[in-house]
Structure 1
Amino acid sequence: MKTSRATVERNRERLLQTASAQVRKRGIEGLKVADLMRECGLTHGGFGTYFDSKEDLVAQACAATLQRQSERIGRAVATGSFQAELLGLFERYLSQQNRDHPEGACLFPSLAGDMPRQPQSVRAIFTTGLKDYLAGMQALLGGDEAEAMTVMSTLVGAMVLSRAVDDVAYSDRLLEAVQERLTEVHAADGSPS
């Protein structure tokens, strides 16, 4: 029995969302195609219906996730409430929830360490996604590209370190300290003081 195009597209979207969550939680090497297909209720043999290879799956999953992240920051820019959006971003990004549940959090801290070992196609998608996200961050920061790069690097670095340490209290303090400092620096008008 042939599967309808609509069903194929729904399955493909579910595979992309599940793969995205898995790579953010386990890293790219932790993504196992057989496990992914089983989790989505599909057979391993049907993988080729949806993707050319694991690399293709990872590239498309990253692209879809990064597009959603860029759209989210674009909506924040569209509100015109730059300071409130920026301070809210710091609070959400540097939360214990994001630290403890990377599968639902930003892709950058989860995959930045994997990227140097990935094929050019995947790295190019990551680079484009980062540039797009930084453009939104830059808009929130009054057009200051260097400050956007600094803030983004601070957010990602803090999240990477908070996930890496084995002391939860220390991890909490790290997240709190970075959030407090970023908030202090940007509280006046949404741009660096």
Structure 2
Amino acid sequence: MSNSAKQSSFLLALLPLVILYAGAAVLVVLSRDGLGGMVQYWEFFVPVVAVISLMSGWGQAYVNGNSRLMYLIKQVIIWGLLIAILWMFQTLGITSALGDQKYALVLLALLVLTAIAVGLSLDFKLFFFGLFLAAGAYLLAVPADTTILTKVGEIFRIADPQNKPQTIVVTMALVGFVLSAFFLISVRGAIMAKRIRAK
């Protein structure tokens, strides 16, 4: 395989991570002005995360020697349960009883837990995404508490971080993306090594 083909393949492998982090960062930033008004966008984002999660962990399943069929079944069950819970919230009237603001926080909490669970059990890249989402959800749930803004601002030397939440969100997204990309690179290396040994 030529170098340009390898680079194209790597960039294509990075695309799902770009979609995840960019989409989540944009939603977190826009939700700071009114989380309740962004509920439908978060609901649309859940299946996007599910599909990306489903597609992006094949390499790790191969490296670990896990059955791809079992990987697929586990992913479908986990994400299917989340989508079924959200659907039940809608059909049973729980969404309207909670109100948009509280429902959005519940949705985010469920998405965070699902992403972290998938990350720990099937595709570690999603663990970093789940952590980023957790930080974003905290910023949305407790906008007056600037602790996380201050800590991230100190680490990355961002002056006056309390007044720059968008900068902090983008910075956290970039850190999560870099960690996920690093893990992706290590998985791709392990795949190549395993294929070479198999020959």
User: TM-score normalised to the size of structure 1?
Assistant: 0.34
